[in-house]
Amino acid sequence: MKLLPYGLLAGLFLALGGCASLPPPDASSVQAGATPTQAVPAAAPTAAVPDHQPEYPSGSLTPIAAHEPAPRNVATLTAPSDLWERIRRGFAMPDLDSELVASREQWYAARPDELANMVERSRKYLFHIVEELERRNLPTELALLPFIESAYNPHAYSRAKAAGMWQFIPSTGKLYQLKQNAFRDDRRDVLASTRAALDYLEKLYGMFGDWHLALAAYNWGEGSVGRAIAKNQRAKKGTGYLDLSMPMETRFYVPKLLAMKHIVANPDAFKVKLPVIDNHPFFDTVTITRDIDVALAAKLAEIPLEDFRELNPSLHRPVILAAGTPQILLPWDNADIFQRNLDAYAGSRLSSWTVWVAPTTMKTAEAARRVKMSEADLRYINNIPTHMIIRAGSTLLIPRPAGLERDVTERIADNGQLSLTPEMTLRRIVLKAGKRDTVHTVARRYGLPPVKVAEWNNVSTSASFKPGQHIVIHRWMPVNSAAQRRAPVRAAAKRAPTRLANR
């Protein structure tokens, strides 16, 4: 029998231990300069930000005066059975005196179907996030932030290349130890991305002492917020969220979160019906000790493949490499089912895939020939676009040979990358004009549109060139295979031209 998690008995333990959660303050109880109520990790890394802005320069921002945190109430003995009520009890952010909050409330309330879809998606992840917030003594409003960031979609991907529920861009993800390799993207991982997001939010609150400014920095970048504050300080203006000049997206960001908070706090007032979400974990973690196919893992857990992917959205490929992903998430009641079925599984191997490291730069057709796959299958399983060349040292997923028993090594599973280069490249070529050369004769000679030749040379399409004049054209040319062969190759790859990554 599984023990219920700490969060379900939190009320009892807190009461007996004299601890408590923060009460919901009024708008004046937290202001610019409030001392953080949680400890900021001593070794928190300096994070990159969505707009790639650096932190504001040292000394450019005058410290904001701090004051004592509000007193805490002792928690009641009764733990809420509904997760929404548990979230309400942990609200601790001040409201914002802005018409934008009311407009966002109306916007969400007018779209009940969209709101219901978001809430339904959150059902799988919300309990874990609330648990983590309470463990860190953070405001539970932050559990609503993925509604604003991604509509609680762990597969979300933005035009700025931000991924996952918490929308990390690649550089910030790396700074917060979110692995991004050929086999998985931890920016989508439920546990890892939540840990990283809360680490980052704690750091931002430690910097600004105000949750509205911390959230603005999460969206706009800590450097941008810091510079905006410093600018207002120099002009002897206010330094609160509403005082700063900021992009429209950031101006709406906090009002969106507060609108969601108000709807959750009092759904009847907005004629919204929130579905019941039990105050109980949706998933459990299961340790993986051998490489296993994703489809087989879902089958052993007796859940649909789509449900498995929703709980394990970081997986890129159809196999789970145990050395890189030592645990998976499964619905609470299916974790034991998976373990029983795994113990009784009669198959000799759990994985039908392994990894091959390209020893040299080569075309996909050559790589497919070496690993005895069709080129179409190799492209499909490794997500390789057409007209691309595989660079030396790339890790590719291939069928596992019958006699191979050992799994993929930790070095490959954790760091393997697929590096591609175009098979054709657009090159700038400078020619010397001959006698009677014109835009049209040059275009006809090289099979180019006359309008492009004229554009590249800043002349009209009817222009003529003087003998010896430089003419610029651009042409798609094959990649220089000799130059590619001279590209650096890992020493290990040189030793074994067709080696497998786990041998």
Q: Based on the fold, state whether residues 29 and 93 are members of the same structural domain.
A: yes
Q: Does 298 map to a domain?
A: yes
Eight-class DSSP state of 79: P
Smallest CA-to-CA distance from 213 within 32, 474, 40 is with 32
**Do residue 156 and residue 16 come from a single domain?**
yes
CA distance 259 to 148: 10
CA distances from residue 482 to 452, 478, 487, 493 in whole angstroms, order as listed: 30, 11, 9, 18
pTM: 0.74
Question: Do 147 and 220 lie in a common domain?
Answer: yes
For residues 89 and 186, membership in a common domain is answered with yes
What is the DSSP track for 29-57? Answer: SS-TTPPPSSPPPTTPPPPP-TT-PPPPP
The pLDDT score that the predictor gives to residue 374 is 96
pLDDT of 430: 93
Query: What is the model's pLDDT at position 267?
Result: 97
Q: What is the pLDDT of residue 480?
A: 59
What are the distances in angstroms from CA 84 to CA 91, 184, 267, 275? 11, 32, 11, 9
| Spatial CA neighbour of 430 closest among 449, 457, 398, 467 | 457
DSSP string, 387-448: TEEEPTT-EEEEEPPTT--SPPPHHHHHH----EEESEEEEEEEEE--TT-BHHHHHHHHT-
Residues 151, 122 share a domain: yes
At 70, which CATH number?
1.10.530.10
- Residues in the chain predicted with pLDDT less than 70, given as ranges, are 1-77, 479-503
Tell me which of 344, 372, 395 is where a domain ends: 344
Tell me, what's the pLDDT at 479? 66
201 lies in some domain: yes
The answer to whether residue 276 is domain-embedded is no
User: Considering 105, 131, 132, 149, which one is annotated as catalytic?
Assistant: 149
E strand residue ranges, 154-277: none
CA atoms within 13 A on the CB side of 92: 25
Report yes or no on 155 lying in a domain: yes
The answer on 168 and 202 residing in a single domain is: yes
Q: What is the pLDDT of residue 485?
A: 43
State whether 455 and 428 are in the same domain: yes
Spatial distance between the Cα atoms of 344 and 424, rounded to a whole number of angstroms: 51
| Interaxial angle between packed helices 99-109 and 112-122, expressed in degrees from 0 to 180 and rounded to the nearest 10 | 90
Q: Identify whether residues 59 and 78 lie together within a single domain.
A: yes
Neighbours of 114 (CB within 10 A): 12
Q: What is the CATH number of the domain that holds 455?
A: 3.10.350.10
Burial of 72 (0-12, 13-18, 19+ CB in 10 A): middle
Q: What is the pLDDT of residues 86-132, one digit of tens each?
A: 999 999 999 999 999 999 999 999 999 999 999 999 999 999 999 99
CB under 8 Å to 90, separation ≥6 — which residues?
A: 21, 22, 130, 133, 134, 139, 140
Domain shared by 51 and 187, yes or no? yes
Domain that holds residue 142: 6-270
Q: Look at residue 406 and tell me if it is in a domain.
A: yes
Structural domain count of the chain: 4
293 three-class SS: strand
Q: Which residues of 296-324 are buried (b: 16+ CB within 10 A; e: fewer)?
A: bbbbbbebeeeebebbbbbbbbebbbbbb
Helix (H) or strand (E) holding 285: strand 283-287
Chain centroid to CA 303: 25
At 168-215, the pLDDT tens digits run 999 999 999 999 999 999 999 999 999 999 999 999 999 999 999 999
Q: How far is CA 487 from the centre of its chain?
A: 31
> Is residue 172 located within the same domain as residue 246?
yes
Tokens 């006699």 belong to which residue?
Answer: 403
Structure tokens at 429: 């070529």
d(CA 172, CA 47): 6
User: Is 149 in the active site?
Assistant: yes
Same domain, 301 and 368: no
Statement to judge: residues 418 and 432 lie in one domain: no
Residue 502 in domain: no
According to DSSP, residue 457 is labeled T
